[in-house]
Amino acid sequence: MSKLLTHPEEIRACIFAREVILGDQVVFGENISIGSPDQPLQRVEIGDNVYLGSDSRIISPQFKVLDYSKLHNGLLVYGKGVCAIGYNAWVGQNSVLDAMGNLSLGNNVGIGAMSQLWSHILYGDVMEGCRFDSAKASRIGNDVWFVGHCVVSPIVAQDKSMAMVGSVVTRDMEYNHVYAGAPASDITAKVGPQFREVAVEEKLAYMRARMTEFFGANPKLDRDRIECGAGGSQDRPGVTYFDVAARTYIKKRSREEIELLQFLLPRAKFIPA
């Protein structure tokens, strides 16, 4: 079983960058390389409760990943541009994130194992007339899901779009549409969208049921430190408020908050208000 690195100094020893921002309770696997002594990155930002699996390599000069994201073993992030990953990302093992033309992933993005997201095409002899030589930003919206073994060209994937396993995505993906095949085509009319409309009352009932389940399994935790509702700030000292309408929470970093957020993933996702 591989060793996990949890102490901030152990983790910082794996990072070679001119500027490093490291959140709380970050966990690294073994044999991780982020920059190098002779080629340090410009900036690395890692949010709270982020996991980076063993044998991962990051050589994009600017790399950012936010809270509660899980990047699994064998990840390769490279290119001359910026790679920015939002909250609650899940990236499966042996995936490739190419930032040559810049790559951005929104919040709650899922990338299944063995997937590749590209932002450039380069190899052919331009002097000889090769027409395929370009870099283009790839922008992946919120709640986008590449199920697994997907290969994605530089595209714009609008929020809540989805590509089924083994898809080869070469064109932009529309809001809440589902794609499959090689090259991928829109199959939303056949299988329906990824997301259905959910009333706020249903969201609130779901959240309360999960909280009851969580605190029932953890009776030593303080139930009074967590509240949920639909709308309003409800910012009280020492209390984390979850707003199911906005999908946000007021960050307090209590043990109850952290463990509840981890318990809810991946079936309910929140970002800091």
State the pLDDT at residue 254. Answer: 98
State the pLDDT at residue 1. Answer: 59
Nearest CA among 233, 224, 228, 262 for reference residue 244: 228
pLDDT tens-place string over residues 77-99? 999 999 999 999 999 999 999 99
Considering the chain, what is the average pLDDT of its residues?
96
Whether residue 244 has pLDDT greater than 80: yes
Looking at domain 8-191, its CATH architecture is 3 Solenoid (2.160)
Backbone angles phi, psi at 28, to 5 degrees: -115, 145
pLDDT band of 243, cuts 50, 70, 90 = very high
State the pLDDT at residue 232. Answer: 75
Give pTM, 2 decimals. 0.95
CA 28 to chain centroid, in Å, comes to 16
State the pLDDT at residue 51. Answer: 98
**CA 204, CA 110: separation in Å to the nearest integer?**
24
Distances 24 to 11, 44, 48, 255, 257 between C-alpha atoms, Å: 11, 15, 5, 12, 14
pLDDT tens-place string over residues 169-225? 999 999 999 999 999 999 999 999 999 999 999 999 999 999 999 999 999 999 999
Where do we find the tokens 């052919």? 124
Distances 44 to 65, 66, 159 between C-alpha atoms, Å: 9, 11, 26
Q: Where are the domains of the chain?
A: 8-191, 200-272
State the pLDDT at residue 103. Answer: 98
pLDDT tens-place string over residues 44-77? 999 999 999 999 999 999 999 999 999 999 999 9
